[in-house]
Amino acid sequence: MKIKKKIKKNKGLIQFIIRSGIFFSVLLAFRFFIFLYFRHTLFFLKYLRIDADFYLDFLTGLRGRDFQNAAMFTLALFVLWNRKKLFNLKPYNQNYKESAIFGVLAMLTQVFHYVFKYWIKLNLDTALNHSFLITLIKYSFNLFFILFLAAAAYNLAFIKEQFKNYKKQIPVFSIILIVYFFLIQFFQRIWRLLGNFVARAVYFLLSLSFEKTYLRILPEATPRLGVDTFIVGISKECSGIDSLLLFISLYSAIFVLDYKILKRKRMLLLLIPGLIGTVSYNILRVYLLLLVGVFISPEFAVDMFHSNIGWILFLLFFMAFWHFGSSRVYEKK
């Protein structure tokens, strides 16, 4: 309740939350359009689909999800560390002319991005001879898209002011991002026990709804389960080990930052339902993935849905968990 009151009193923070909501909504809407529709069109498949040589491994596929989780943790840690400053953001007027200009520039970067991919398709041999440079140029279009979109949502004056305030922290949090990314890789080595448990739990839920369900668990092999002909493997990235690490990391960060004002015994006890909830939401995630694959599209399930449902559910779970749990663990002033 105290946090809600602080937010309501701070007009600058309310503006920031609204503009952040617009920024991420546009970003997600664009991502959904590309992944759900555009890249499945005949035009894209014929003229714009390029080889894997022009993609960075840590930004694509399951490694891309690891990087996404590392970025989410780093962003959450940044917010926790600077929450007092964020509660005192100054209000500022939106420059709509500037927003329109940068909005158009953001759209143009994506037009040029796909024109460049078309050039790669037409000049594949030349592009392959300079694959690393071509890859960097290709990703630069996406980087500028995000920067221009941010400028449209927040405006340059606000961005410059915040960069000035936090520029000394950027190298530190960049290192945290890299370290946490590799920590995820290390943590995934102990995934098998959790992966088998998740597979059995999801199989039980599926057996309540479907007749033809499938489960195979073998030593030193990826658990496989499915319904009818739609069968998936529960790999280390899908086992929930990343979510567990992310939850423990955020929980530990809060514990360290607010150590003096916490009821520490209650905080330790609250960790138990938090861990149970994290595993449970991951079981729900895999179960929903199977349902989407059966009733909507197998390709959509293992691609767009799989890439995004994890962090969406985690954010919803952690916000709900901390909303109800935090009122019981802080000392009353």
Mode of pairing for the β-strands spanning 230-233 and 213-216: unpaired
pLDDT value for 270: 92
12, pLDDT greater than 80: yes
Backbone CA torsion sign across 31, 37, 39, 43: negative
The domain segmentation of the chain, as residue ranges, is: 1-49+89-168, 183-333
> Rounded distance, CA 144 to CA 310, Å?
26
> Rounded distance, CA 261 to CA 193, Å?
36
- Alpha carbon of 266 to those of 38, 171, 270: distances in Å? 50, 35, 6
> Rounded distance, CA 302 to CA 292, Å?
9
5, pLDDT greater than 70: no
Least confident window among 178-182, 237-241, 280-284, 313-317: 237-241
2, pLDDT greater than 70: no
Q: How many residues does the chain have?
A: 333
pLDDT value for 3: 54
Q: Which of 104-118, 176-190, 192-206, 210-224 is most confident?
A: 104-118
Predicted confidence band of residue 1 (pLDDT cuts 50, 70, 90): very low
pLDDT value for 105: 98
pLDDT value for 6: 58
pLDDT value for 125: 93
Predicted confidence band of residue 235 (pLDDT cuts 50, 70, 90): confident
- Residue 224's SS3 state is strand
pLDDT value for 108: 97
**pTM to 2 decimals?**
0.75
Predicted confidence band of residue 295 (pLDDT cuts 50, 70, 90): confident
CB 243 within 8 A of CB 316: no
pLDDT value for 155: 93
Q: At what angle do helices 192-209 and 264-295 cross, to 10 degrees?
A: 50
Share of the chain above pLDDT 70, in %: 96
Which residues lie across from 230 on neighbouring strands?
A: 227
> Rounded distance, CA 10 to CA 223, Å?
50
Tokens of 78: 């940044």
> Rounded distance, CA 264 to CA 268, Å?
6
pLDDT value for 126: 93
Q: Which of 109-123, 226-240, 271-285 is most confident?
A: 109-123
Q: Residues 238-262: pLDDT tens digits?
A: 778 888 888 999 999 988 888 888 8
242 or 190, higher pLDDT: 242
- Residue 48's SS3 state is coil
CB 250 within 8 A of CB 318: yes
Residue 197, class by beta-carbon neighbours within 10 Å (0-12 exposed, 13-18 middle, 19+ buried)?
Answer: middle
220, pLDDT greater than 80: no
- Contact residues for 12 (Cβ-Cβ < 8 A; gap 6+): 88, 89, 90, 91, 92
Q: Mean of the pLDDT values across residues 3-19?
A: 75
144 or 62, higher pLDDT: 144
> Rounded distance, CA 241 to CA 28, Å?
25
Q: At what angle do helices 96-122 and 131-154 cross, to 10 degrees?
A: 160
Mean of the per-residue pLDDT values of the chain: 87
Which residues lie across from 88 on neighbouring strands?
A: none
Q: Mean of the pLDDT values across residues 175-188?
A: 86
Gyration radius of the chain over CA positions? 22
Least confident window among 50-59, 138-147, 221-230, 236-245: 236-245
Chain-centroid distance, C-alpha 124: 32
Task: Identify the DSSP state of 41.
Answer: S
> Rounded distance, CA 259 to CA 263, Å?
8
Which helix (H) or strand (E) segment is 125 a member of?
Answer: helix 124-129
